């Protein structure tokens, strides 16, 4: 993807998505890369590969990374079972959570995160804040982010394999899914999310949810036309209206988190000295070529 000097392009990296993806890719087969003192580094090693591959592919002028800080957020207060089905992070990954932020910082890339909010909310807020100044690309594996797509904000979904990306704009989102960005949330409100452990409307899956949204436009549109629906669907919705509203709230990425991003402070220029020091510390000799 070409980028002219006069045209700012900011890559916002979903740090958690990249780190988890890297951990599982790099521990496939049971081998965990470690430093000579026993510190696990496999996820960070893979994270750096993913990061530099995306930088090469999308040529950003500006770059930043967002993270979850702590396990509990305002969504847990809204719904105590939110993400309650998530397994504990693998033991070898835990020490890498803090260390990867040090690595990102050593590269000269700002880290962002706010306690009580998810990385998604920080990404959404910053994307909206800066999109009047720059084209925004969000790098993630999380399809929930598609709700953030606008004419100035694209979402890059990392797919299986190296350098395999799908870039979503309002046009490509409609072409593939026949949904507008805001309707991603309405879909989740009906079908729920097993990964995040909220049910939506019990008995309504993706196919029915899509049909409802396509016909009536939104959750509100469906509720205003309940009498038009088959009796079984109507009953399911009426029996789960509270959860429908709650699921919509849980699925909605906040864009008003108390966080501020100054675009000038995110200008991408690698800090080679500190990056080299950190790579040597982590025994990443094979990655030094990436930092020039």
47 and 59 within one domain: yes
- Residues 201 and 240: their CA atoms lie apart, in Å, by 6
Write down the pLDDT at residue 144.
Answer: 95
DSSP-based three-state secondary structure for 40: strand
In a domain, 208, yes or no: yes
Write down the pLDDT at residue 143.
Answer: 95
91 and 170 within one domain: yes
Average pLDDT, the chain: 94
Tens of pLDDT, residues 150-190: 999 999 999 987 789 999 999 999 999 999 999 999 999 99
Rounded to whole angstroms, what are the CA distances from 4 to 49, 113, 168, 225?
24, 30, 21, 49
Structure-model confidence comparison of residues 70 and 148, the more confident one: 148
Q: How many domains does the chain have?
A: 2
197 and 132 within one domain: no
Write down the pLDDT at residue 27.
Answer: 87
- Residues 108 and 87: their CA atoms lie apart, in Å, by 33
79-104 residues labelled b (16+ CB within 10 A) or e (exposed) = beebbeeeeeeeebbeebbebbbebb
In a domain, 2, yes or no: no
Tens of pLDDT, residues 235-285: 999 999 999 999 999 999 999 999 999 999 999 999 999 999 999 999 999
Which domain, by its residues, includes 211? 181-251
126 and 22 within one domain: yes
pLDDT at 2 over 70: no
- Residues 120 and 148: their CA atoms lie apart, in Å, by 10
Write down the pLDDT at residue 253.
Answer: 98
Mean pLDDT across 52-64: 97
Residue at token pair 């699925």: 251
Write down the pLDDT at residue 5.
Answer: 40
Please spell the DSSP secondary structure of 226-262, one letter per residue.
GGGS-HHHHHHHHHTHHHHHHHHHHHPPPS--S----
165 and 40 within one domain: yes
In a domain, 3, yes or no: no
273 and 205 within one domain: no
In sequence order, the 6+-apart residues with CB closer than 8 A to the CB of 237 are: 201, 204, 222, 223, 226, 229, 244
Please give the structure tokens belonging to residue 258: 């108390």
Residue at token pair 């409307």: 201
Q: How many CB atoms sit inside 10 A of residue 220's CB?
A: 11
137 within 8 A of 10, measured Cβ to Cβ: yes
Write down the pLDDT at residue 3.
Answer: 52
Burial of 156 (0-12, 13-18, 19+ CB in 10 A): buried
166 and 244 within one domain: no
83 and 172 within one domain: yes
pLDDT at 68 over 60: yes
207 and 125 within one domain: no
162 and 31 within one domain: yes
Tens of pLDDT, residues 5-52: 448 999 999 999 999 999 999 888 888 999 999 999 999 999 999 999
221 and 76 within one domain: no
193 and 59 within one domain: no
Tens of pLDDT, residues 181-216: 999 999 999 999 999 999 999 999 999 999 999 999
The model's confidence at residue 87, banded by pLDDT at 50, 70 and 90, is confident
For position 26, which CATH number holds? 3.40.50.1010
DSSP-based three-state secondary structure for 183: helix
For position 237, which CATH number holds? 1.10.150.20
């Amino acid at each position: 993807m070409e980028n002219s000097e006069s045209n700012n392009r900011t890559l916002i990296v979903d740090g958690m998505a990249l780190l988890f993806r890297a951990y599982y890719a790099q521990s496939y087969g049971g081998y965990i890369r470690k430093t000579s003192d026993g510190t696990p580094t496999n996820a960070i090693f893979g994270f750096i590969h993913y990061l530099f591959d995306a930088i090469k592919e999308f040529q950003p002028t500006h770059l930043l990374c967002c993270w979850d800080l702590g396990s509990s957020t305002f969504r847990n207060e809204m719904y105590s079972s939110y993400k309650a089905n998530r397994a504990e992070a693998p033991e070898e990954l835990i020490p890498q959570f803090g260390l990867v932020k040090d690595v990102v910082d050593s590269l000269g890339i700002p880290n962002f995160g706010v306690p009580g909010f998810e990385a998604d909310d920080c990404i959404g807020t910053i994307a909206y804040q800066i999109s009047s100044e720059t084209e925004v690309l969000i790098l993630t594996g999380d399809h929930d982010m598609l709700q953030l797509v606008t004419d100035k904000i694209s979402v890059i979904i990392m797919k299986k394999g190296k350098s395999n990306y799908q870039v979503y704009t309002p046009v490509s989102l409609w072409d593939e899914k026949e949904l507008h960005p805001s309707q991603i949330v309405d879909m989740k409100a009906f079908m729920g999310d097993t990964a995040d452990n909220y049910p939506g409307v019990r008995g309504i899956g993706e196919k029915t949810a899509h049909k409802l949204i396509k016909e009536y436009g939104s959750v509100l549109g469906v509720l205003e036309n309940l009498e038009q629906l088959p009796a079984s669907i109507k009953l399911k919705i009426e029996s789960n209206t509270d959860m429908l509203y709650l699921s919509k709230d849980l699925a909605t990425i906040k864009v008003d988190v108390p966080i501020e991003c100054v675009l000038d402070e995110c200008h991408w220029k690698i800090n080679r000295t500190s990056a080299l020091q950190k790579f040597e510390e982590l025994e990443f000799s094979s990655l030094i070529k990436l930092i020039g």
